[in-house]
Amino acid sequence: MQLTREALLRAFRLMQTIRSFEERVHDEFEAGRIPGFVHLYAGEEASAVGVCLHLDEHDFIGSTHRGHGHCIAKGCDVTGMMLELFGKRDGLCLGKGGSMHIADFDKGMMGANSIVGAAVPLALGAALAAKTLKTGAVSVPFCGDGGANQGGVLESLNLASVWKLPVVFAFENNGYAETTAASWAIAGGDIVNRAAAFGMPGVQVDGFDFFAVHEAAGAAIERARSGGGPSLIEIKTGRFFGHHEGDSQTYRGKNEVGRLRAERDCLVRFRQRVTEAGLLDPAQLDEVAVAIATEIDQAVDLARRAPAPAPAALFENVYVSY
């Protein structure tokens, strides 16, 4: 699939935004300024962006506990996200969701979800709504290799096929469910093998290669949009940080992360490919990266100083009416 310069630049901007956001959240968390748990997406950017570049705000995504990348790729406001992580009044969810529960339904982002695999049935429902209301929208549940072993996810693969829903299951296999190796926990070896059992096409792609993800996702999403039913993509990727911040990562190989960063970084590979092909200018990319760094700085600065939610917010939005 031929991408315009504009689309390439957009892809770079989104991937770089995710990277800068996550690196900065890592620092802020380490400094004790972010409460709770955070699970960073750095390393996996090509997955969220390669998929979401095919979607607009009418389409839906479901996400995981590692959701910041999905949020940014789907168009969520970065400053609002940072305020949310800091638990502030003006956060994207008014400070009541936090890192693991950021959602923006106006953007078709159905929420990060701290129950592993739980967003998959939910995204199925969005696909059902799109089909029933004939909106032409598609729904993409992101799910990790850990979630791939949840019963509800397997039920959802079956139900999506039975109901012929416009769904693309995007399994991000980053090699570990917390500390447990996917190579041990995924019976049958690869998640992609499960597609055939549920009567849908499946493809496995290199998740460090934006172009590979983008192409596979494009075909699957086009199929879903044109009424062809569900399909599955297994995106083989890797995280640059631990399961959560504070994870000692003793289960990983010696210098595994160092090698991932040095040899497989999706941003480095993207830059190499587009500059060598003369599609984008290195200086242009640097300029974008600097602008993003400034944006993240400003977001953090604002988040640190922003007010906490008012005490009354404790009682608000439990119900629409009660």
Partner 1 sequence: MARILTMRKALSEAFRQVMEEDPTVIMMGEDIAGGMGAPGELDAWGGDLGITKGLIGRFGMDRVLDTPISETAYIGAAVGAATAGLRPIAELMFVDFMGVCFDQLLNQAAKFRYMFGGKTKTPLVVRTQYGAGFRAGAQHSQALYPIFAHIPGLKCVIPSSAYDAKGLMIASVRDDDPVIFFEHKVMYDTVADDVPERPYAIPLGEANIVRDGEDATIVAIGRMVHFAMEAARTLERDGIDCEVIDPRTISPLDEDTILDSVRRTGRLVVVDEAYPRCGIAADIASIVAERCFEALKAPIRKVTPPHTPIPFAPDLEDAWLPSADKIAAAVRSQFEGRSR
> 177 forms bridges with which residues in the sheet?
180
Q: Is the dihedral of CA 210, 212, 216, 219 positive or negative?
A: positive
132 lies in the binding site for partner 1 (CB under 8 A)? yes
Binding of partner 1 by 316 (CB under 8 A): yes
From the list 291, 298, 314, 312, the residue with the least C-alpha distance to 83 is 298
Which among 213, 211, 138 has a CA at the least distance from the CA of 173? Answer: 213
Q: What is the closest distance, in whole angstroms, from the C-beta atom of residue 234 to partner 1 in the complex? A: 20
In this structure, the dihedral spanned by the alpha carbons of residues 172, 174, 179 and 185, taken in order and rounded to 10 degrees, is 60
Show the binding pattern over residues 32-61: x = contacts partner 1 (CB under 8 A), - = does not: ----------------------------x-
Binding segment toward partner 1, per CB under 8 A, in 129-137, 171-179, 225-233, 262-270: 129-137
Binder to partner 1 among 48, 76, 126, 280 (CB under 8 A)? 126
What minimum distance in Å lies between the beta carbon of 44 and partner 1?
Answer: 24
Give the C-alpha distances (Å, rounded to integers) separating 58 from 41, 94, 130, 132, 284.
24, 23, 9, 14, 31
Query: What whole-number distance in Å separates Cα of residue 125 and Cα of residue 64?
Result: 16
Q: Which residues lie across from 141 on neighbouring strands?
A: 62
Q: Which of 14, 92, 177, 216 touches partner 1 (CB under 8 A)?
A: 92
Nearer to partner 1, 103 or 267 (CB): 103
Backbone angles phi, psi at 231, to 5 degrees: -150, 175
Per-residue x/- track, 140-159, partner 1 (CB under 8 A): -----------xx--xx-xx
Rounded CA gap, 187 and 173, in Å? 14
Q: Nearest approach, Cβ of 202 to partner 1 (angstroms)?
A: 18
Residue 94 C-beta: closest distance to partner 1, Å: 3
If one asks whether residue 91 binds partner 1 (CB under 8 A), the answer comes out as yes
Q: Binding residues for partner 1, per CB under 8 A?
A: 60, 62, 91-98, 101, 103-106, 110-111, 113, 115, 118, 120-126, 128-130, 132-133, 151-152, 155-156, 158-159, 162-163, 316-322
